[in-house]
Structures are given as C-alpha cells and as structure tokens.
Amino acid sequence: MESNCQVSERMDGTMSLTLSGSQRGNMTVADTEERPCPQMTIALEVFLILGVLGLLENVLVIVAIARSRHLHSPMYYFMCSLATADLLVSSSNIWETIMLELWHGGVLNIDPQTLERIDNVFDSMICTSFVASMCSLLAIAADRYVTIFYALRYHCIMTARNVGLAIAAIWVGCTACGVVFIAYHESTAVVLCLVATFFTLLALMAVLYMHMFLLARRHARRIAAQHGARGVRAAVTLTILLGVFVVCWAPLFLHLMLFVVCPHNPYCVCYMAHFNLYLILVMCNSVIDPLIYALRSHDMRDTFRELVLCCGTSRHQGSDLQQNRINSSSSHTPNLSTKFRLNQFIIF
C-alpha cells in the first residue's frame, strides 16, 4: 500500500501539466471502478539509479568534447548541446527523487503548495530538455546535410560564429519554454504546444533525412566514394539517435495527447496510469545516447578511455595516445588542407 501511494504521489508530482492531483484522483477512482487498470509499481531507487547513470555519462561526454581537440567541430558542439539536455533530465529526476524520498520519510516538512511549486521547476527542466534535445537533433541533421551536399562551402556556412549563435538561440528558446511552462503549467494550451512542437520538429527532421538519403542515393556516383560513405555513415548514426529519441519520448507525448483528447475514456485512463513507465523511458534516453556516441565514434571512444584512465601516469599515456592518433591520421593524409576537409566527414 505504501509503495502504491509513493507511485501515485510521484505521478501527481512529476508532470503537473498532465493532471492536477485532485483531478487524477477523482478520475482514476471513477473510471477504474468500471474498468480496472493494472497498476505498475516502480521503486524510487530505479529513478535514482538511472538519473545518476545519465548524469555521469553525459558529464563525461561534455568533458570529452571540451578537452579533445579532435572533437572541436560543429557536429560535436551540437552533440554537446544534446548531452547538456540529457544532463538536465537526469539532474531534475535525481533531485525530484531525493525530494520525494525525504518527503515520504517525513524528513522534508513542507506544505503541498510549496512542494507543487518546487515540482513545477523540475517539470520545467524536463520541458526545457525536451525542446533542447529536439532542436539539437535538428541542428545536427542540418550539419550533416551541409557536410554531404555542400562540402566545399562547409567552412563558410558552419563557422564558429554561426554554430555559437545557433546553440545560443536553442538554449534561449528552451529557457523561455521552461519559464512559460512554470507560469502556465495548469493550462491545456501548454500541453498542446508541447505536443505540436514534438510532431513539428519530428516532421522537419524526417523530411530532411529523407531528402538527404534520397539525394545521396541518386547522386552516389557524383559524391566521392569514401567521403560520401563516411558522410552517410554519420547520418545513419544520427538517425539512430533520432530513433532512440522518438522511442523514448513518444509514449510520454501520447500520454499528453490522451489527456487532452480523451481524459475520461477508460482506455485512455489505463494508458495514463503508467506515467512512471514513460518517465523511465525518458530517463533511459539520457543513458543510451552516450553509449551510441561511444559505439559509433572512434575519437569519442578514445577520449572516454583517456578520461577514465586519467589518474596518475595514465594522463601521460592519454597524451601519447592522442599524439599517436594525430601522427596516424597525418601519415595517411597528403597535406594539411586535405586533412582538414576530411575531418568534416570522418565524424563517426
């Protein structure tokens, strides 16, 4: 009974825009009397473990990109933005889990209104992370498109200034979304806006990727064989990232859609009763993304190894490993300008 209470309280406190506590309580009781729904209990420890894993992994990604010169390219800067968004999800869930555990144990003595306001801040962090993730994925897709089809103009288009402005615009817009979420967390319009954002950006990326692969297939002979293959390989990696993102976030947004469309339908109520599972999937996305980076990027994997083995003499060994990579790449490259161009394709 106590664990079920914890789950229901977390559902009431995890995403305020889904339902207020009283609304969910009344609706669930009324509807489940007609058609009982199977209940799923997820321990708070699961949220905490996933949150800590996601936090550590994405911190490692950010540090790796900041530290390794091999990763100082527009592609990885956008990837760093994506890792920051994942970090935000993990951090918000860690703090929320700790707060709920302290509250359930009677250690944290605050009134429900204050608890709801604190929870709204955590919810806004999740909202901000969602928008930042979608925009970062869209920016990565645009970067891959320019890399494959406008290779000669790549350095004129994807300048450090343009990349910095794009990332700044992403996070300013995301922060604004978070503030709006806190101010209007009880409004159905916020739910509709989030759902519309999800499907709009998803459609834009789908069109961009479809156009990218169709052109790559049609003009395969015109694109240099090695360059095109590597560019398309990078696009495939980003498609994997996008696919994982959709799988992990779509159940949550279906939950939000059902709340707007059919909040009292017994089948919709049964689906919405598993909110904790959908939140677990969102947290899994933050854990899976760094694993994809490591599996698909040799430079990222080597940098991870250097960071993990950074204690004592391993720092010197890591420097030797990085120097060996530089020497190895230069030995296979006829000149510096050619090497600089190829680095834009050999991302993954």
C-alpha dihedral, 307 to 311 to 312 to 313, nearest 10°:
-30
Residues in the chain: 348
Please count the structural domains in the chain.
1
pTM of the model: 0.75
Q: Side-chain half-sphere of 210: how many Cα atoms within 13 Å?
A: 6
- Does the residue 117 lie in any domain? yes
> Tens digit of pLDDT per residue, the chain (348 long)?
334 444 344 544 444 443 333 333 333 334 444 446 777 778 888 888 999 999 999 999 999 899 888 888 888 899 999 999 999 989 988 888 888 888 877 777 777 788 778 888 888 888 888 889 989 988 988 888 888 778 788 888 888 899 999 999 999 998 888 888 878 877 788 888 888 888 888 888 888 878 777 776 666 555 554 444 555 566 677 778 888 988 999 898 899 888 888 888 888 888 888 888 998 999 999 999 888 888 877 878 888 888 878 744 444 454 454 555 555 444 444 443 333 334 444 344
- Does the residue 308 lie in any domain? no
CA distance 229 to 318: 30
Q: What CATH number is associated with residue 187?
A: 1.20.1070.10
Quote the pLDDT of residue 169: 94
- Does the residue 296 lie in any domain? no
- Does the residue 60 lie in any domain? yes
- Does the residue 211 lie in any domain? yes
- Does the residue 347 lie in any domain? no
- Does the residue 169 lie in any domain? yes
CA distance 258 to 272: 8
Quote the pLDDT of residue 340: 37
- Does the residue 183 lie in any domain? yes
With CA atoms as reference, report the closest residue to 277 among 302, 310, 254, 306: 254
Q: Which domain holds residue 220?
A: 2-288
